A and B are shown apart, each in its own frame.
Chain A
Amino acid sequence: MSKTWLIIKREYLTRVRKKSFIIMSLLGPLLLAGVVIFSFWLNIEESDNQKIIVVDDNYPMFQGIDDTKYIDFEVQNISLDKALALLDVSDYTGVLYIPSNILNGHIAQLHFKKTLSVNIQRAIEQKCQQIIEMEKLEDFNIRESDYKRVKSPFYIQTLKFDGVNSTESDVLPAMVGWVFGIIIFMAVYLYSVQVMRGVIEEKTNRIVEVIISTVKPTQLLMGKIIGVGAVGLTQFVIWAFLSATGITIGQSVIMSQVYTTENVLSAENMTPAVQQQMLEENKLNFSEFSKDDNIFNSISRINFPLMLGLFIFYFIGGYLLYASMMAAVGSGADNDTDTQQFILPITFPLMLAYIVSISMFNNPESDIIVWMSIIPFTSPIIMIMRVAFGIESGDLWQVYLSMALLVATIALMVWASSKIYRIGILMYGKKLNYRDLIKWIKL
């Protein structure tokens, strides 16, 4: 055991100390965080502050329009032509023209020199709408507080009925499941190939004979598989930790920005501060208003302990299954190119699972998906997604079956692989074929 431990330690440390590992560990989440932050930023960041002339044919109806952080409104009692002439020569960025029939027509015009962002447009629309609504309330003699009570946003809650309970179904848990599935797919592929490379390296280096004269081939094989797997887990944990930190920091930066920009972003934004503000204003439960708070409901509905448990199980299981097969292939090859004909059939189920995983959003419970979630070669990716989509309690046996089959298949594959491995690593100059592989298993 202590020898296997030594091997695990070496496999682990030599890989973890590599520059490429450190760079990938740091860069991976940085890239991810970068993408997230960037996409958030794109939504809120405006290139310049806007100075907009408001030409109000119903002056002074729009006198009360508020500035936002990025938009200064200047209500002018001038004609549109004059305003446009002014726009041409001044540092104003746009002219908002409110025609006299605004209360009936509901159409205003925004003239600009440089295209305004969607967010700016939406903010201006909202500002205008607020004023129009206020005007109409006055016209119809409705109190503002009554109006707020009447105004009721609407959405449909979709519920999945499993015979006993109905649970809300939506795409977010599926997305989380898909991300988990894709992480498993990537990890299984990347790290099982690393195992294969490691085996080939030892073989072509000719160090393998020295090592197996001191340890059993199975010990070397298991040490390598466990060591490389631990590297994969380490990288995943670093990524998860750094991503979480990065996203938290990024979000707090963005959210503080959101708050100070007030209504540039839609009023449905989720910061507690905004919620609080709305609560105070409306004396209504905010969550009834907003559809988007669903994200929190959805996420909280995902059974994270279960998902995480399954994730770790299928992560390790999928890795062990594919790594042992890849190790067998590596042991029979003299160099990387020899392995091509074997890698394709081995990785085919993985690729298939990846492709199917995308189609799962449309039809999460088709027969093929049920089968693929049970068959061990695809189950690590597909089953975790099925569970995330929400699996009926009556179908839970499929999860247990898939787990049992995976364990059994791993045992079989590790057994067969170590048989191939202990012969393969001492064979040189022989092109590997399937007949030999089967012969070696039988030996």
Chain B
Amino acid sequence: MSNIIEVKEVSKWFGDFHALNNVSIEVPEGSIFGLLGPNGAGKTTLIRMITQITSPDSGAIVFNGTSLQSFNIKDIGYLPEERGLYRKMKVGEQALYLTQLKGISKKEAHQSLDIWFEKLNMQDWWNKKIISLSKGMQQKLQFVISVAHNPKLLILDEPFSGFDPIHTEEIKQQILALKEAGTSIIFSTHNMSSVEELCENICLINKGETLLKGNINDIKGSFSKCLFKVDFKGSQVAFANALGYQFEIAEIKTKGETSSALIKGFDKITPNMLLRSLVNFVEVVSFNEVLPSMHDIFVDQVTAKNTPVDV
């Protein structure tokens, strides 16, 4: 699969402040890419380079196979984290204006907006003033404006902030539908559960440096702490004896006939090694490797200031 956008070793200085240091990302076409990092990590700086608000001091950005050009603005949709609307304009007027600014005709803009307004049940908003909309409604309108010109690449910076769970779900479904339809999406957020739910690939940056990047499952696998959760029936003593020197019990609980244990392995342990040592002594009911959540990885990585890891 080709990449819709490739950011190649870009750096950016703001005076003495090194906002980005040799950051590279590749977003495969038709996928959702998570751009993660704490506040001030350089996410917005990176996004502003892709949206051509600022330009990199060094490095290159390739869009759809060729160097990023100003006419590519038409192919990029952007929902910034800090976003707003002209409060005194009417909804339709404003949506048309901002969509036309992307470089498409009024007629096309109108057609596309009609479709989106219908999709999100906003038809009767057209003549309302922005000021009369609730915050959630405004967020929804902003989302529509960012996608109404049918961009190839959609950049969403904290798209769910300000939404109630119902609207969040509605927008999430729209994002997934866009992805199915072939739109590539860069998704920047602090909300790790939505990252696990939506993203295929991620890049974690901190203080302008890449900490982690790659496929989300590969990353989680690589951060495996050899933790296994085993539910079994049988004697706990037998269970403990069955474990070799490579394992130790981190936690064990009993609920009726079934016990549930959390096993920590040492060295390079595979799940099969553990299973093999257990099956002759207890009845294994369920077995799975406990992978760290993205949340844990995020916190560990950012606080530990680990050296960059490439997966």
Determine if B51 and A213 form an interchain contact, defined as CB atoms under 8 angstroms apart: yes
Q: Provide the residues of chain B in CB contact with A10, threshold 8 Å.
A: 97
Knowing A14-B88, A205-B84, A426-B53 are in contact, say whether A210-B145 is a contact too (CB < 8 A): yes
Determine if B100 and A6 form an interchain contact, defined as CB atoms under 8 angstroms apart: yes
Smallest beta-carbon distance B72→chain A, Å: 11
Contact of A428 among B52, B82, B89 (CB under 8 A): B82
Cα-based distance from A10 to B15 in the complex (angstroms): 35
Q: Does B245 contact A (CB under 8 A)?
A: no
Contact of A210 among B52, B80, B87 (CB under 8 A): B80
Smallest beta-carbon distance B43→chain A, Å: 14
Determine if A210 and B89 form an interchain contact, defined as CB atoms under 8 angstroms apart: no
Q: Does B86 contact A (CB under 8 A)?
A: yes
Smallest beta-carbon distance B132→chain A, Å: 16
Cα-based distance from A206 to B78 in the complex (angstroms): 13
Q: Does B122 contact A (CB under 8 A)?
A: no
- A1-31 vs B, CB cutoff 8 Å, 1 = contact: the mask equals 0110011001000100000000000000000
Smallest beta-carbon distance A331→chain B, Å: 14
Contact of A215 among B83, B87, B101, B146 (CB under 8 A): B101
- A423-442 vs B, CB cutoff 8 Å, 1 = contact: the mask equals 00010100000000001000
Q: Does A141 contact B (CB under 8 A)?
A: no
- Interface residues contributed by chain A, number (CB under 8 Å): 22
Most buried by B among A7, A209, A428: A209
Q: Does A86 contact B (CB under 8 A)?
A: no
Q: Does A300 contact B (CB under 8 A)?
A: no
Determine if A213 and B52 form an interchain contact, defined as CB atoms under 8 angstroms apart: yes
Q: Which residue from chain A places its CB closest to the CB of B51 in the assembled complex?
A: A213
Most buried by B among A6, A210, A212, A428: A210
- Interface residues contributed by chain B, number (CB under 8 Å): 26
Smallest beta-carbon distance B229→chain A, Å: 45
Q: Does A156 contact B (CB under 8 A)?
A: no
Determine if A207 and B102 form an interchain contact, defined as CB atoms under 8 angstroms apart: no
Knowing A3-B101, A10-B97 are in contact, say whether A213-B82 is a contact too (CB < 8 A): no
Smallest beta-carbon distance B23→chain A, Å: 19
Cα-based distance from A202 to B89 in the complex (angstroms): 12
Contact of B89 among A2, A14, A204, A439 (CB under 8 A): A14
- Which residues of A from 388 to 443 have beta carbons under 8 Å from B? 426, 428, 439
Determine if A210 and B98 form an interchain contact, defined as CB atoms under 8 angstroms apart: yes
Q: Provide the residues of chain A in CB contact with B297, threshold 8 Å.
A: none
Cα-based distance from A204 to B83 in the complex (angstroms): 10
Determine if B80 and A209 form an interchain contact, defined as CB atoms under 8 angstroms apart: yes
Knowing A3-B101, A439-B15 are in contact, say whether A209-B86 is a contact too (CB < 8 A): no
- B223-265 vs A, CB cutoff 8 Å, 1 = contact: the mask equals 0000000000000000000000000000000000000000000
Contact of A211 among B15, B101, B103, B146 (CB under 8 A): B101
Most buried by A among B53, B76, B142: B53
- B46-80 vs A, CB cutoff 8 Å, 1 = contact: the mask equals 00100111000000000000000000010010101
Smallest beta-carbon distance A305→chain B, Å: 39
Q: Which residue from chain B places its CB closest to the CB of A204 in the assembled complex?
A: B84
Determine if A207 and B83 form an interchain contact, defined as CB atoms under 8 angstroms apart: yes
Cα-based distance from A6 to B83 in the complex (angstroms): 21
Q: Does A165 contact B (CB under 8 A)?
A: no
Cα-based distance from A213 to B157 in the complex (angstroms): 13
Q: Provide the residues of chain B in CB contact with A7, threshold 8 Å.
A: 101
Cα-based distance from A284 to B271 in the complex (angstroms): 125
Knowing A14-B88, A205-B85, A439-B15 are in contact, say whether A210-B100 is a contact too (CB < 8 A): no
Determine if A3 and B103 form an interchain contact, defined as CB atoms under 8 angstroms apart: yes
Determine if B102 and A209 form an interchain contact, defined as CB atoms under 8 angstroms apart: no
- Which residues of A from 149 to 207 have beta carbons under 8 Å from B? 201-202, 204-207
Q: Which residue from chain A places its CB closest to the CB of B77 in the assembled complex?
A: A213
Determine if A214 and B83 form an interchain contact, defined as CB atoms under 8 angstroms apart: no
Smallest beta-carbon distance A215→chain B, Å: 6
Knowing A14-B89, A426-B53 are in contact, say whether A209-B97 is a contact too (CB < 8 A): no
7 closest A-B pairs by beta carbon, nearest first, are: A206-B84, A205-B84, A213-B51, A209-B80, A206-B82, A214-B101, A213-B78
> Could you list 30 examples of A-B contacts with CB < 8 Å?
A2-B103, A6-B101, A14-B88, A14-B89, A202-B86, A204-B84, A205-B85, A205-B86, A205-B87, A206-B80, A206-B82, A207-B83, A207-B84, A209-B78, A210-B78, A210-B80, A210-B98, A210-B142, A210-B145, A210-B146, A212-B53, A213-B52, A213-B53, A213-B78, A213-B80, A215-B101, A426-B48, A426-B53, A428-B82, A439-B15
Interface residues of A (CB under 8 A from B): 2-3, 6-7, 10, 14, 201-202, 204-207, 209-215, 426, 428, 439
Interface residues of B (CB under 8 A from A): 15, 48, 51-53, 73, 76, 78, 80, 82-89, 97-98, 100-103, 142, 145-146
